[in-house]
Structure formats: C-alpha cells, structure tokens
Structure 1
Amino acid sequence: MTTPPSLELPAEDRVLSPYTGYTRAHWEATADGLLRAAWRWATPGGALLDLPGRPSGSGVRSDGLEGYARTFLAAAFRVAGAGGEDPYGWLGRYADGLAAGTRTPGRDDTESWPLILGHDVQGQPMVESASVALGLRLTAPWLWDRLDPGVQDRAEEWLRGALRHTPAPNNWYLFPYTVAGFLESVGRGDAETARARERALGLLEGWYRGEGWYADGDSRAFDHYNGWALHLYPVLDAHLSGDTERLAHYGARLREHLEGFSLLFGADGAPIHFGRSLSYRFAAGAAVGLGAVTGHTPLAPGVSRRLVSGTLRYFLDRGATGPDGLLTLGWHGPHDATLQHYSGPASPYWASKAFVALLAPGDAPLWQAPEEPAPSEGPDRVLALAVPGLLVHSTRADGIVRLHNHGSDHLRPHEGEAEVRDDPHYSRQAYSTATGPTAAANVADNHLAVEIGGRLSERRRIRPLGAGGGDGWGWAASWHRPVFRPGPPMAPGLRVESVTVVRGSHELRAHRVVDAPAGSRVRQTGWATGPDDTVRSALHGLYGWESALPDGQRAPQGTAFTRWAVVPRLTAAADGTTVLVALASLTGVTEDTDEAPLSGAVREVRVAGDTVEVRWADDGSLTRIGFSPLTVDHLRTEG
C-alpha cells in the first residue's frame, strides 16, 4: 500500500522504526499535508473551513467552524511541539480567522461564527470551542499574546458561551472545562471558570468506574471516548498547567487504562472497530501519545511509537484521505454506515488529537527509542476487563484483536429500550481490528436473535454478569431482554443470558434463553467477512442448534472493511428455557493458517440442566459453565 499523493512524506527509517518506518518527521509532514488540503476550502477571512460534502445535523455554518477548530488543533500540536517554529505560517491564518469569526458572532454572513448554545439547541459549537481554546492555550506565546486586545476580548466573550449553556450529559462537560482552563491560563479566570471546572471534575469522578475506564456519562458507554476525551482533557490540562497533584491523580488512571487499551490495536495498526465516532480514526492513539508525553504510561517508548505510528500509517495506507487530501467520512475510505447524525465534512478532523504526541520534543525517548512490538504482536493474550464488561483476545499468528462486548451499550439511564433504535456499533456480541459490523438494514453479525412471529429481536441494554479468566483463557457474561420492532417491543419474562469463553482463536458462545414463547426460534450469527477480506469466519453448533446455513446469510451493504459480506448462521427452535452452545472463530488467512474445521476443536459437550461442560480436543482441558448461579471454570487436567 502507498501513501496518498497529497501527503509529501520523508523517506522511511527502518532502522529506528523497523515496524512502521515512521519518525517524528512523518508526523509533522502528515499534519502539514492535512492542513494544506483543508485550507483550500477556507472563507476569505479564514474563519470557516467549509469542506465539501453532506452537512451534519448542525448545519453548514457549524460545520465550517468545525473545520476551523479541529484543524487548528492539529496546527497547534504541530507548532507547539516544534517550540513555536511555524514554517508554513499556520498560526497567522488561524489568528486572522479568529478575528473574523468573533467580530459579529451569530450573524448570517461569510465569516461569523455561530453562537455557543446548549447541547439541545444546535449545540455543536460548544464541542468546537474546546478545540479553539486548547489550540489557543498551546500556542499562546506565538498567537494569543500577539493578538490585538480587542480581538482577545471578543474571543473570550465567544468562548464564555460554553460556560453559560448546558452541555450534553457526557464527555461534553469537559468542553467548558477546557475553555475555562485556557481562560485561567491567560489571566482571565473568575468564579464562572472555576464553577465550570469544578462541575466537570465532579462529574468525572462519578463516571470513573475503575481499571482506568470511565463511562461516557451516567450510562454504560465504554468506548474510544475514554482515550480521546475522558482521559485526554483532564490529563493534558494538568500537564499544561503544571499541577502535579492533579496530574498524578488523573495520570494514574491513564496509566491503568493503557494497560488494557494498548492491546486494542492489531498488528497492522488497526484500532478495534467498536463504538461511535469511528471516523476520528487515528485519534484512537491519542491516549497512547499522551501517556508518553506526560510519563503516565506502562508502555516503553518504542512500544508507544509503534502503536501511534502504526495506527496513523494504517489509515493513510488505506484511503482515509481522498484524492484531494481531505479526510473522508468513514473508516478506510467513505463509509456511511460508520457515521452518526452529527457527522459532517470536517468531523474526521478530531483525528487531530493524535498529534498530541508531537508535544514530546524530537530528542524525547518517544521519538528516539527504536520501535518495539505492539502488545498484539507478542504471545497470544486473553484479557478480561470486568469494569467495562469487555473480553479481549489477540492471536500472534494473524495479528487480529477481538473484543467481546458484555457491558457497553450506549443507552442513557432514562431511555427505555424500545425508544432507541439498534446501534450496530454497540449491540453486537463481538468486534475486531479486521472486521466491522454489518449495517442495521442487513443481517446482524455476531448476534443471538429470538424470532417470534417473523420478528427478530435486537440487543439494547446489556447487563454485565462478570468477567475473568486465567493463563491463556478468559470469559465474560451478560444478559439482556430481547427487543422487537415493529409491534410489542418485549415478550413477558423473555431474557437471554450469554457467556463467551475464549482460548486462542476459539470463541465458545453459550446462551440460555429463558421463557421463550411457544413457537419461538433463535438465530446465532458469526463474524461478517467478504470476498475481498484476508480473514475467514467460521461458526459451528455444539449443542441445541438444529441447522446451519451452508453458505451463510448475505449482507449486501457490507462492512467498513468489505463492500459485500456474508455472515455464518445457526438456527434452532426455542420453547421455555433453552440452552444453546456454539463455537466461533475469526482467523487471518496466511500461509500458516490452520485449515482444521471448528468441529474438531471440541472432543465432547455435555449439558445437564443449566450446566455446560466442553472438553477441548487439543489438551483435554474442560470448560464448565453454570448459568444458575453463574460460574465459569476452566480445568486444565483430565477428569
């Protein structure tokens, strides 16, 4: 794969960076290339960058501000990291744009920025205010300090809109926190800024659940927002302010987060394809870079660079920028199913957060230590993250990382399960660095559906039951109430209890369907793959399943990884309480790929009441699952 022609990158350095070839100079050149492409679409005064494409739900003017703010963040990291050196004059452009945008905020003209209002009133400008504020803070000696006092006053007044209106009930509270941090850093703090910061940090404490993981609000949404928002803003703020006490507090959480999160990158550099806002792409590496910059990381410098450069290169090599050099809305290239309603042409430029790594100077270990293998390039690993309810496993042979979701659902506490539409980026049982979920209108991959009267159920609110494991194996479990659409949303008493146990690339999927109405059926699907993929999906029924679809079920809309996909499927009848057991796998196709069918992986399966016992063929070990009460054990010896 080759770098897009719009990016002028230096020669690779395979001595210093044997895995990616990328150095600090590649990061600077990438930032410059992205900025160069985006500024071709600036308004005459530089206040708005009106990138081409379909508008977001917030409208074209908000999208233009988004273009300014998010690219400013890239420019700020690039110039601040170079000690103020600005060979292409980026800061002069952003200074002009700031002056033009804040002259008459809210006016319907070519340059004026929209006002910052509450999250429920075209609230996107509040998001962008944080990027503007952080960009100004990072570059204060070379931009803010040289502005006319009148422009400074206008900018402050516009930014204070973020302090005076209500954020969305999640990571949005860190946007006024960041605005307030900037104002205080330039001597413009007061009771209003103090309240905004106190409020945000108070909420953050309530959202912290342990093991380095925050929920994104009063919910169970655990995803990439941990790294590119919930850790980024407080840790970076403490670092920039020199507040050693706060940095130690939030930095310790970042360190613990990276213990597990660092495994969520495949050997090819791909982040795990899970959660919302995936068009931010290589921003997934922001937490890794921030840990290296602040010293709050368990990773060696060469491992950190391997991860951040790996994910940057992964996307540049796979069409993240179009022929015009602009980041596209999607994953590799454009992909509508990856997007949310708030996604606009400039939304992908939150990827700019990855450039936080440039705050480490050129002589820092992050850039000078030789690259070392990523965690997924070491021995096969299984990691149970009990707090978010996630089970992660990687296999060295193909470099794929898989995540089994038994705890993250993105429903807010006040929302009824029937009120919210199915979200493929949270509701599926499993995700990976090599596959994406199928679109909502197609067959759902990695899903256990109950079928009643021709209607298939969806999984909404996920109730975690636990996670754990040992050397070379792990498990996670949850239960949910199947939701049906259209018609009555739920069947009385119906629930599905699910347990996933992994060993190597094998995924044991056991379910207990409780109180299924007479005449019900169930469907289990596996990983979605396509004809152009280099991965193979398999699904084999071990107990309770009656039939399999030989060629799988087709998903014509494909995934973020393939234009067209097929999904393996099992079906069975369900009446009352039914226990079902299957074995699934996702493997990379290489010269050394094991062609042995899944049917040979298990020697024996026994089900007695609510207890499942599976004897593995390779070493005779036994996995025992009890549903009532829930117990999961793995015995390594015969008998």
Structure 2
Amino acid sequence: MKLPGEDRTLSPYTGYTRDHWVAVADGLLTAAWHWATPGGARLDLPGPPSGSGVRSDGLEGFARTFLAAAFRVTGEDGKDPHGWLERYAGGLDAGTRTPGRDDAESWPVIGDHHVAGQPMVESASVALGLRLTRPWLWDNLAPAVQDRIEAWLRGALRHVPAPNNWYLFPFTVAGFLASVGRGETETARARDRALELLESWYRGDGWYADGDGRAFDHYNGWALHLYPVLDAHLAGEETRFGPRLREHLDSFGLWFGGDGAPLHFGRSLTYRFAAASAVGLGAVTGNTPLRPGVSRRLISGALRYFLDRGAVDEHGLLSLGWHGPHAHTVQYYSGPGSPYWASKAFVCLLAPPDHPLWTATEEPAPSETADAVLALPAPGLLLQSTRRDGVVRLHNHGSDHVRPHEAESAAEDNPHYGRFAYSTRTGPTARGNPADNHFAVVVAGVRSVRRRVHPLGVGQAGGWGWAASWHRPVFGRGPATVPGLRVESVTVVRGSDELRVHRVLGAPPGARVEQTGWATAPGESVLRPLSGWTGRDEVRAPHGTAFLPWVSLPRLTGDVHGTAVVVALAALGAEPRDPVASVTEEGAEIGWPDGFAVQIRFGPLRVRVDPVRSMPGG
C-alpha cells in the first residue's frame, strides 16, 4: 500500500491527511479485487470460511468493499480514476442473474437470520453503496438489471432479522428503494418497524442497546447511529437521530487512547477502525460536539494505529484479528470478508477536501489533554484515562451479551463482555486461560463466571468516579448456581488507581474468592490486597491476548463464608498510591495518603458511594 508523505504541519499528531484516507481505500480495494470471480460478483478472499459458508463470504467481500468504493467516489463527486464503480456494476449484474444457484457468480438468497441470514447484512451495504453512487452507477444500469437487484434486495424485507441492529439492514434497503422511486407499503413497513425498535432500544446519553437486553459496545456507533443518521443526511431531513449522535460523541472521544487505539471491548472487534466511523459521520453531518481537528485526530489516529501494527497482511488484505491475525478476537460468524466492515470508517470521505475536517489543524485527543474520569449512566460504564501514558480504561458495570429470555450459563462465558475492565492497551485472555480482570467465587474447586450484569449506578465528581453492579455467579460444572449466592461489586477510580470492592452474600462453607488483574507482560500491572485477601500470586495465560502472544495476571485469593467484603487496588502501567481500607459487612471506607477518602455502603440491591474527609482511626 503506497501512502503519501506525512504532513506534520497540518496533522502534527498522525501525519495523515485526506489523501492518506483515499490512498488506503484504493489500496484495500486493489488488493481485494485480486480475488474477484471472473464476473466480479464475489470477492473470494483467502482464509477460513465463516459459519455461513464460502459463497456468503464471497458476497460479504463484494458488499463491504463496495461501501469503501462508494464513500471514496461519492466524496470525489463521482470522479473514479480507478474505475471502481464499473467493476461493481458488473458484479451486481452477474450476482443477481440466478440468485441461489451453486456456481461461481450467483449470490446466495436472503433468508431468516437463523437459516441463511448473513446475506441480509450484506444487502444493507449493497443498498447503501447504490444510494450513495446513484448518479454514476444505478442510473446507468439497464432496467432489467435494476429489476433483478431490487428483487434480490427485497429478500431483506421479507425475512426475519436477528433481534438487534439487524433490523436496520432492511431499513437501509427500504431507504434505497424509496430513494429511487421503488418504495411502497412493504418498504414503509420495514422502515417503521426498525424505527419502532430503535426507539425502544434507546437508553439515553446517546446510547442504544443492541437489542432488548443490555449489550452496549461499538455497535452503538458503527450501526445503531450510522444507518439512521446517514439515511436522514442523504434524504436531507432533520431527525432526532442527529442530536443523539452528537450526545454520543460528547463522551465517545474518550474511547480512543493516545496511540489511536479504540477500546478493546465488545464483539466484532475485527472491524477495527470502523470504531471511528461515528466520529467521521458526526463531522460530515454536523452532528458533533468535537472540533474538526479533534475529529480528524481520532479517525486518523485509529486508522494509523492499525496500519502501523500489521492489520494489513502481505497480500494487502485486512486479516481476521486485531493487530494481525488473532483467532480469539474473531466470532464464529466472521469470514475473510468480515474485516471490511472497517469500510464504514471511510464515511469521512463524504466530507470534500475543503471541509474543516480536512483543513483544520489536528488537535489532541481527549485522552491526551488531561487525566479524565467519565461516568456513563445509560450503559453503566465508567471511563478512566491517564494523560501520562494515553491509556483509557473501561470499567464494565452495565453491559453484557445475554438476551432477556436467555438463561445464564457458564458455558456461554464471553470474555468480550464478562470482565470487569477493558482498555486500549490490553485485551481479554482467551477461554481456557485464566480470566483477566475477573472476580470469581470458587465452590468445590469450580470458578464462577459473570454473565448477566445488573447495574447499580455510576457517578463522578472532580477527579474520581465510581460504578457498581451485582451478578449471580454461575458455574460450568456441578450445580449451575448456588442458592442465595450473589456478588455486589464497586469500582472506584482516581488517577491511575482502581479500587475493586466486592461483597459476597450467601457463600457456602468452603468457598473461596479470586480476583485477577490486567493481562500484561510480567510486572506491567499491579494488584494489591487491601482487605479480606490471604493469598497473592501470579498466573500465566499462554494463549496471550490480541496485544501480546503471552501474558501473566496478578491474582489474589481468600476464603469466604456467608457475607464477606474484600477490597483490592489495581493499576495498569503505573505504581498505585497506598490507600488504607476499613471494612465491615455493610461496606468499606478507603482513604489515600493525601487525605481523600470514599465511603461505600451496600444496601438491598443498591450501593451508595460518597467522599468523606478522613478515615476513622487514620
């Protein structure tokens, strides 16, 4: 991939300009099209197939790269020096001639999400690409080809999406069809249903849940905001979705570290710099509180972060993983074409070269300006960043990936949601390895996992903040649960310090508790016992993380029976200060050497956290 020279005057933090974004788009497209079928209907990229099979994967490669091409050409007002749209026009023709046929070109038909659903995801990318490039592509297709494309797309309107952001795929298809004069009752129904559900998933503070449960992650930006906001922008309409994006971006800037990395949290992380798509969309549509120089710092920082760390392989393709290939980052539904949802980040190219997004001088990211603590009440998350190292930490007391109707099962333990903390510098350890940032109750030698998270509140004041939740420990062997066993948890952050306070209720005789810290190279994180712990050691995770091939975790252990409160102090990449804890069964008081102290009081399924002037007796 050939990139222009850096411009450290305009972009003192990344060196990247709009020309770099265009060059990356062209480079990714050139490499991907090397693997096109003869008719160009599928891009059969090399790699292990997804659960949907290679034909679906080939469509995925076509549709998701089409998004990048569409943003790139539309942002240049139709200029297409590489002839991308001609290639995609040929593929659209070939793929829709005989949908469902088992040959080299035909696209799979769209089915219900639990039968053959993946093509529904790709239909949204096809529809959005066509809507963006309509004057140069769609309007020049033969009527018969247009009819065949419409017939294939309508499969998304007639089948059942997954019960989450998938409802925005038929919404997007219907929006395109209406925009070209092919809308009617069926398209209106698909759009109304999606907006009805989207409204029910909105939790406030710019945050949507990804479905009826409490799944809060990067899908909030690259799906739940992107599709309705871009739809309204292309239609020239003012809707409630723009102000919600602005509210989301008011805090989302802190989701990126000083090195450009997005928080490594949630599923589908192989989409990488798609995490920055909401920032670019906000700049393009004007729905952002971020200054243009900050927005460019965030999007270009994320793009460069991955390019500098091997996300593009020797073939010029995006690999399945994080930096480079990493199997434990990848979900079962991901195939070789999946990483190209990163194409959503190229929405920033809809801003023309003279847009302030590209002409303003880069400014520092929020994580580079000062130490910060930010409580997000709607998703139940607490952010903590330190300017010294640019690391952002996310403390999770509100997001899980358990649908309301699902039972809690230890077999479904999800490292991307179940841990108490995530960061821009560390990733969760893999299943089968010791779990990082985890609190476990150990009964009869079996460690519990945290599945459904019940938030108890978050708050911030000045330079400190807190978040709390409770969960029911579940076990993978023997009885799934212990009657009456519950864990109430509080995280308090200040500077680089993280207080981790847990109250265990209903612990059976012989039970133990374990607390682990950050997954890093040896010596790069600290976990210090303050109260209730009797053992301390370090355990190894030889499968490593998305950041390191081999990691170790500090661990604390202790015995519990009935009700017990334990307190630990954690720190990532810094030596913590030396607070002192005083503990009862109802709570704890923790004081720092500089005189600052907090008081934590547990009640029946509630927690109160307050600052106090001094510690009793100290």
2:610 counterpart of 1:622: no
Select 1:571's aligned residue among 548, 557, 560.
Answer: 557
2:587 matched to which residue of 1? 611
2:610 matched to which residue of 1? 633
What letter is aligned with 1:355? F
1:295 matched to which residue of 2? 286
Q: Name the CA distance, whole Å, in 2 between partners of 1:570 and 1:199.
A: 49
**Cα deviation, residue 609, structure 1:** 3.1
2:129 counterpart of 1:135: yes
2:92 matched to which residue of 1? 98
- Secondary structure (helix, strand or coil) at the match of 1:388 reads coil
Q: Name the CA distance, whole Å, in 2 between partners of 1:536 and 1:37.
A: 38
Q: Name the CA distance, whole Å, in 2 between partners of 1:354 and 1:493.
A: 47
Select 2:472's aligned residue among 469, 481, 491.
Answer: 481
2:444 matched to which residue of 1? 453
**Cα deviation, residue 601, structure 1:** 1.8
Per-residue CA deviation, residues 138-163 of structure 1 (Å, 9 max, x unaligned), is 00000000001100000000000000
Q: Name the CA distance, whole Å, in 2 between partners of 1:299 and 1:571.
A: 44
Select 2:572's aligned residue among 586, 589, 593.
Answer: 586
Report the aligned-residue RMSD. Answer: 1.0
Q: Name the CA distance, whole Å, in 2 between partners of 1:630 and 1:242.
A: 46
Asked if 1 retains the 8 angstrom alpha-carbon contact of 2:121 and 2:166, the reply is yes
Q: Name the CA distance, whole Å, in 2 between partners of 1:143 and 1:624.
A: 63
2:542 counterpart of 1:556: yes
Asked if 2 retains the 8 angstrom alpha-carbon contact of 1:530 and 1:563, the reply is no
Asked if 2 retains the 8 angstrom alpha-carbon contact of 1:62 and 1:114, the reply is yes
Per-residue CA deviation, residues 357-380 of structure 1 (Å, 9 max, x unaligned), is 000010000000000000000110
Select 2:76's aligned residue among 82, 104, 113.
Answer: 82
Q: Name the CA distance, whole Å, in 1 between partners of 2:590 and 2:121.
A: 50
Flag the 1:82–1:637 CA change in 2: closer, same or farther, 3 A: farther
Asked if 2 retains the 8 angstrom alpha-carbon contact of 1:435 and 1:559, the reply is yes
2:388 matched to which residue of 1? 397
Q: Name the CA distance, whole Å, in 1 between partners of 2:109 and 2:411.
A: 30
- Secondary structure (helix, strand or coil) at the match of 1:514 reads strand
Per-residue CA deviation, residues 319-340 of structure 1 (Å, 9 max, x unaligned), is 0010110000000000000011
**Cα deviation, residue 636, structure 1:** 5.2
Q: Name the CA distance, whole Å, in 2 between partners of 1:420 and 1:78.
A: 43
What letter is aligned with 1:564? W
Asked if 2 retains the 8 angstrom alpha-carbon contact of 1:208 and 1:215, the reply is yes
**Cα deviation, residue 635, structure 1:** 3.0
Q: Name the CA distance, whole Å, in 2 between partners of 1:24 and 1:494.
A: 55
Correspondence list, 1:298-447, <5 A: 298-418=289-409, 421-447=412-438
What letter is aligned with 1:627? F
What letter is aligned with 2:27? G
- Secondary structure (helix, strand or coil) at the match of 1:282 reads helix
Correspondence list, 1:33-48, <5 A: 33-48=27-42
Normalising to structure 1: TM-score of the pair?
A: 0.95
- Secondary structure (helix, strand or coil) at the match of 2:139 reads helix
What letter is aligned with 2:607? L
Asked if 2 retains the 8 angstrom alpha-carbon contact of 1:530 and 1:558, the reply is no
Select 2:201's aligned residue among 203, 207, 222.
Answer: 207
1:546 matched to which residue of 2? 534
Q: Name the CA distance, whole Å, in 2 between partners of 1:164 and 1:35.
A: 31
Per-residue CA deviation, residues 212-239 of structure 1 (Å, 9 max, x unaligned), is 0000000000000000000000000000
Per-residue CA deviation, residues 225-260 of structure 1 (Å, 9 max, x unaligned), is 00000000000000000112x2xx101000000111
2:55 matched to which residue of 1? 61
**Cα deviation, residue 605, structure 1:** 1.7
Flag the 1:637–1:259 CA change in 2: closer, same or farther, 3 A: farther
Q: Name the CA distance, whole Å, in 2 between partners of 1:387 and 1:503.
A: 21
Flag the 1:638–1:493 CA change in 2: closer, same or farther, 3 A: closer
Per-residue CA deviation, residues 282-310 of structure 1 (Å, 9 max, x unaligned), is 00000000000000000000000000000
**Cα deviation, residue 122, structure 1:** 1.7
Q: Name the CA distance, whole Å, in 2 between partners of 1:87 and 1:471.
A: 53
What letter is aligned with 1:261? F
What letter is aligned with 2:584? A
- Secondary structure (helix, strand or coil) at the match of 2:11 reads coil
Q: Name the CA distance, whole Å, in 1 between partners of 2:613 and 2:189.
A: 56
Q: Name the CA distance, whole Å, in 2 between partners of 1:156 and 1:69.
A: 15
Per-residue CA deviation, residues 25-72 of structure 1 (Å, 9 max, x unaligned), is 000000000000000000000000000000000000000000000000
2:101 counterpart of 1:144: no
- List runs of 5+ in structure 1 lacking aligned partners: 1-6, 588-593
Select 1:462's aligned residue among 453, 456, 459.
Answer: 453
What letter is aligned with 1:337? H
Q: Name the CA distance, whole Å, in 2 between partners of 1:43 and 1:175.
A: 25
Q: Name the CA distance, whole Å, in 1 between partners of 2:581 and 2:37.
A: 67
Q: Name the CA distance, whole Å, in 1 between partners of 2:140 and 2:612.
A: 68
**Cα deviation, residue 584, structure 1:** 0.2
**Cα deviation, residue 419, structure 1:** 7.2
- Secondary structure (helix, strand or coil) at the match of 2:224 reads helix
- List runs of 5+ in structure 2 lacking aligned partners: none
**Cα deviation, residue 77, structure 1:** 0.2
Q: Name the CA distance, whole Å, in 2 between partners of 1:562 and 1:611.
A: 37
Per-residue CA deviation, residues 467-526 of structure 1 (Å, 9 max, x unaligned), is 002000000000000010022110000010000000010000000000000000000000
Q: Name the CA distance, whole Å, in 2 between partners of 1:605 and 1:203.
A: 46
Q: Name the CA distance, whole Å, in 1 between partners of 2:254 and 2:304.
A: 18
What letter is aligned with 1:626? R
Select 1:192's aligned residue among 163, 186, 208.
Answer: 186
1:500 matched to which residue of 2? 491
What letter is aligned with 1:624? Q
Asked if 2 retains the 8 angstrom alpha-carbon contact of 1:530 and 1:566, the reply is yes
1:4 matched to which residue of 2? none
Q: Name the CA distance, whole Å, in 1 between partners of 2:10 and 2:421.
A: 36
Identity %: 70
- Secondary structure (helix, strand or coil) at the match of 1:209 reads strand
Q: Name the CA distance, whole Å, in 2 between partners of 1:104 and 1:436.
A: 44
- Secondary structure (helix, strand or coil) at the match of 1:74 reads helix
Asked if 2 retains the 8 angstrom alpha-carbon contact of 1:529 and 1:562, the reply is yes
- Secondary structure (helix, strand or coil) at the match of 2:489 reads strand
Q: Name the CA distance, whole Å, in 1 between partners of 2:477 and 2:33.
A: 47
**Cα deviation, residue 530, structure 1:** 2.1
Runs of 4+ with >2 A deviation: 635-639
What letter is aligned with 1:634? P
**Cα deviation, residue 82, structure 1:** 0.5
Flag the 1:243–1:59 CA change in 2: closer, same or farther, 3 A: same
Q: Name the CA distance, whole Å, in 2 between partners of 1:129 and 1:184.
A: 15
**Cα deviation, residue 637, structure 1:** 6.4
Per-residue CA deviation, residues 390-423 of structure 1 (Å, 9 max, x unaligned), is 0001000000000000000011011000275100
What letter is aligned with 1:481? R
- State how many pairs are aligned: 614
Q: Name the CA distance, whole Å, in 1 between partners of 2:205 and 2:268.
A: 23
Per-residue CA deviation, residues 150-200 of structure 1 (Å, 9 max, x unaligned), is 000000000000000000000000000000000011111010000000000
